[in-house]
Amino acid sequence: LPIFVREGSKIIEPIKSMPGVNRYSVDKLSVILDKVKKYKIPMVAIFPYISSKKKNIYGTEALNRDNLICKSLKIIKKKYPNIGVMCDVALDPYTSHGHDGILIDNKIDNDETIKILIKQALLQAEMGCDVVAPSDMMDGRIGKIRKSLDKNGYQMTQILSYAVKYASSFYGPFRDAVGSKGLLKNNKKNYQMDFKNKDEALREVSLDIKEGADIVMIKPGLPYLDIIRSVKENFKIPVMAYQVSGEYSLLCNAINKDLITKNAVIESLIAFKRAGANAIVSYYADRIDKILK
Ligand code: PBG
């Protein structure tokens, strides 16, 4: 289950573009984490929504030892030690331009970005993160992050690589949820994948496995079931698939307008499973139980 955290206290703020999904201030996280525990959801993915005052071109807030992610990690790991936590390694919630890395001459600079991502991943591991999840799509970051985690005593911290992440229109509501939507100039095609490409997915996965990824992510989900299948058939590695914000909001709006029944949610999740996904990230995770009943 992805969870959005925000600053402030006593706040549970609905996200307009994602009906049924909220941003929680850290002191209110228990409201959603109690559900996670009750429904035995094995892992949560936490994403920060920070004020624009804290954003800058380098995304330095990502390395602040007292940032929202660090605060959330400490609380979750203390109060809910059995809930796994994965954290995005990427700069987009923190940059004033909404990109995942460092902009140099109007392009994301791969190697300068990796230098910061290594520090971000290490900080998350230090704070108790179980699975660091680079979702930035820079080349070569998995090996470098693995090396630095090992060197610093975090051999047990897993790496979930967003190995196959397409430059997709389906991320729209998420960018709204982390507050990067209005800031983003141009698009992310300089580092995310072209949705017309299939074999590139296999190349990306094989590189990341060689560099030390424990799990690979494919994203978005439903429009890319063929990719899930083909990664599953070609590699012996756990494959996770992400039912992203746009997929969620489409389903949600159609259900709310009575165009389709909520059984469509289960149908879509079973499709992931049929394609070969070993695990699914879904904004519906905390409500599937009710739908099944
Ligand atoms: C950014 C990131 C994105 C998502 C997860 N991490 C958006 C993007 O690449 O712009 C999308 C998730 C969703 O749409 O639900 N590193």
CA distances to 28, 51, 104, 121, 282 from 242, rounded to whole Å, are 25, 26, 30, 20, 6
User: What is the pTM assigned to this prediction?
Assistant: 0.96
Residue 243 CA: nearest ligand 1 atom is: 15
Task: Encode the chain (293 residues) as per-residue pLDDT tens digits.
Answer: 999 999 999 999 999 999 999 999 999 999 999 999 999 999 999 999 999 999 999 999 999 999 999 999 999 999 999 999 999 999 999 999 999 999 999 899 999 999 999 999 999 999 999 999 999 999 999 999 999 999 999 999 999 999 999 999 999 999 999 888 888 888 899 999 999 999 999 999 999 999 999 999 999 999 999 999 999 999 999 999 999 999 999 999 999 999 999 999 999 999 999 999 999 999 999 999 887 76
- Identify the residues whose C-beta falls under 6 Å from ligand 1: 88, 90, 92, 100, 135, 171, 174-175, 188, 244-245
Contact 78, 127 (CB under 8 A): no
Beta bridge partners of 86: 45, 131
- Quote the CA–CA distance of 61 and 33 in Å, as a whole number: 25
Q: Give me the helices (H) in the chain, please.
A: 29-38, 68-79, 110-126, 141-151, 172-177, 199-211, 225-234, 245-256, 263-275, 288-292
Integer-rounded Cα radius of gyration of the chain? 18
Residue 184 CA: nearest ligand 1 atom is: 10
State the amino acid at position 213 in one-letter form: A
Sequence-ordered list of residues with C-beta below 8 angstroms from that of 173, at least 6 positions apart, any chain: 15, 17, 18, 245, 246, 248, 249
Residue 180 CA: nearest ligand 1 atom is: 10
Q: Give residue 175 CA to ligand 1 midpoint distance, Å.
A: 7
Q: Which residues are catalytic?
A: 165, 219
Which residue is associated with the tokens 């058939």?
A: 233
**15-26: pLDDT as tens digits:** 999 999 999 999
Task: Give the closest residue (by CA) to ligand 1 atom 14.
Answer: 171
